[in-house]
Amino acid sequence: MDSKELEKELKKVKEHFEYVLSKIQTGKASIWSIEEINVYVPSWGQTQKIQGLWNVSLLDSQTIKIEAWDRSVLSHIEKWIYDANLGLTPLNQWERILIKVPPMTEERRKDIVKQVKKESEETKISVRNIRHSFLKNIKTEFDNKEISEDEKKQYENELDDIIKKENKNLESISKQKEDQIMKISA
């Protein structure tokens, strides 16, 4: 069993899980939802990717500020935010766009926690698939007489230990995100 390869695969799964969780709204303003726009707009006589035409920042924990280098694209940005169905309402002030992130209701928080649990389950399935793949490799090595029965059992036990540790780690990450979502902050 190649433990370095196993750790590499598990690291990819964990990083993807953390990335997905980072995109889940927690009731505070976050620029990720705005920065990932993949839209092209007319600007300076040509079509350009929208990310290169603005500066996004946070005014406070509930307000996102977008300042465009070319103010003519503000209406395109505003339209995209409406069309993206992010649950955000942009306020075009002609020099910038302000977006107030509404506080989450208890019901919305519970829905988002369900989303986190769903993502957590999908991640666990990925980990199980990795485990299954490595178990299959161990069995193949044993069947081909490349490893002994004792080595096979040792590798299977090592694999199970690593998988259990990773599942606990993922569970901790999930629980932390759920607590963050359910926390009501000012």
The band of 82, judged by pLDDT with boundaries at 50, 70 and 90, is confident
The more confidently predicted of residues 63 and 85 is 63
The band of 186, judged by pLDDT with boundaries at 50, 70 and 90, is very low
Domains of the chain, each with CATH number or no CATH: 3-24+105-182 (1.10.132.20), 32-100 (3.30.1360.40)
Query: Which residue is listed with tokens 């090595």?
Result: 141
Answer yes or no: are the C-beta atoms of 109 and 102 closer than 8 Å.
Answer: no
> Side chain identity at 144, as an amino acid letter?
N
| Measured distance CA(183)–CA(186) in Å, rounded | 10
Is the predicted pLDDT of residue 83 greater than 70, yes or no? yes
What DSSP string describes 109-154?
HHHHHHHHHHHHHHHHHHHHHHHHHHHHHHHHHHHTTSS-HHHHHH
115: which 2 tokens?
Answer: 């989303």
For residues 110-125, give the mean pLDDT. Answer: 93
The more confidently predicted of residues 183 and 135 is 135
Q: Which residues of 109-132 are buried (b: 16+ CB within 10 A; e: fewer)?
A: beebbebbeebbeebbebbeebbe
- Summarised one tens digit per residue, pLDDT across range 57-75 is 888 878 888 888 777 778 8
- Summarised one tens digit per residue, pLDDT across range 35-48 is 665 666 666 677 76
- Summarised one tens digit per residue, pLDDT across range 118-161 is 999 999 999 999 999 999 999 999 999 999 999 999 999 999 99
**CA 80 from chain center: how many Å?**
21
> Side chain identity at 2, as an amino acid letter?
D
